Amino acid sequence: MTIERIEVSKRLSEAAVHGDTVYLCGQVADDLKADIRQQTREVLANIDAMLARAGSDKSKLLAATVYLKSIEDYRAMNEIWDAWTAPGAAPARTCVGGVALFSPEALVEITVNAAR
Amino acid sequence: MTIERIEVSKRLSEAAVHGDTVYLCGQVADDLKADIRQQTREVLANIDAMLARAGSDKSKLLAATVYLKSIEDYRAMNEIWDAWTAPGAAPARTCVGGVALFSPEALVEITVNAAR
Amino acid sequence: MTIERIEVSKRLSEAAVHGDTVYLCGQVADDLKADIRQQTREVLANIDAMLARAGSDKSKLLAATVYLKSIEDYRAMNEIWDAWTAPGAAPARTCVGGVALFSPEALVEITVNAAR
């Protein structure tokens, strides 16, 4: 099977596609000053954009891992997440909190894989 | 390849199956008052049950990530885990501790994927 | 599709290979007294060795998750990581810190999957 990569740097590919399985790197918000709801919206918008570039979309999500700086943000993140998922097509999800992300201002990072 | 989903809500699918690869959502214990050994037993029973519904079983596990609230529970969790795995068929595993799960009472959450 | 396993114990397989997808267990350093740079070098050498045994190599990495004990080690880990990745072939990567690994001396653990 072929491997395709999108936006490759020395550190990472924004996406790696193996056959018809798409792996995205952990997506974060653009505005790290924003609150958890806005950061979650931006993370999900970035996932949508990157999946589109990889020839997929959120209706084909397979698995997702949500990393939260603070588990106190669980409810607010879910509020945005639940409104975003495609009907009948939410991924198998895991969520952990209390982790340190690449910046102390980053409140949420989400890693997904998807079919295409 | 087809995508099948089991027990889909707005938030997540309990399982997503892509071709012959099964992804389960993070499994937790039913009784969150239980100690680490009992919670681990219940998590593994839930994995068994969900793999069965997806047409797989623990002898086909590929990868697993174990999330512990406290790394102090590493030994007790492993005691139950080691007794559970199928002979010659343990998955590639990663374990991290010190993370906050969806409830402060949840001591362990395990995410797996498997072949079927 | 076939499942192959490398170095299987009751707890884990060092690698599980499903068709042409390789999953490695979380790799750690050999010398846990070493600093973050040396531990990262050893983790990456162990990934190289295990991928080779599974019939793959770092140019075929798909996804990676880096777990750091302290996010303060982010820059030093990246320095070694960035010099290691194959040109144009870095995986989709996620990095989280502030987690407890199997030993208090372990500073970094990395989990990858790859094509072969």
pLDDT tens digits for range A66-103: 999 999 999 999 999 999 999 999 999 999 999 999 99
- 3-state secondary structure (DSSP) of residue B69: coil
Give the one of C82, C90, C96 whose C-beta lies nearest to A100's C-beta: C96
Q: How far apart are CA C13 and CA B110, in angstroms?
A: 16
Q: Which domains does chain B have, with CATH numbers?
A: 3-115 (3.30.1330.40)
Predicted ipTM of the assembly: 0.97
Reported as type and span, the H/E element at residue B81 is helix B74-84
Find the farthest-apart pair of alpha carbons in chain C and give their distance in angstroms, rounded: 42
Under an 8 A CB cutoff, do A12 and C91 touch?
A: yes
pLDDT band, residue B23 (cuts 50/70/90): very high
Q: In chain A, which residues have their Cβ closer than 8 Å to the Cβ of B18? A: 21, 62, 115
Under an 8 A CB cutoff, do A91 and B23 touch?
A: yes
pLDDT band, residue C1 (cuts 50/70/90): confident
Under an 8 A CB cutoff, do B71 and C24 touch?
A: no
Instruction: Please say whether the beta carbons of C68 and C96 come within 8 A.
Output: yes
pLDDT score, position A1: 85
Under an 8 A CB cutoff, do C16 and B85 touch?
A: no
pLDDT score, position C84: 98
Q: Is the dihedral of CA C98, B94, A21, C56 positive or negative?
A: positive
| Mean pLDDT, rounded, for C26-31 | 98
In terms of Cβ atoms closer than 10 Å to its own Cβ (0-12, 13-18, 19+), residue C3 is middle
Pick the residue from chain A with its C-alpha nearest to B111. A94
Partner A contacted by C90 (CB < 8 A): yes
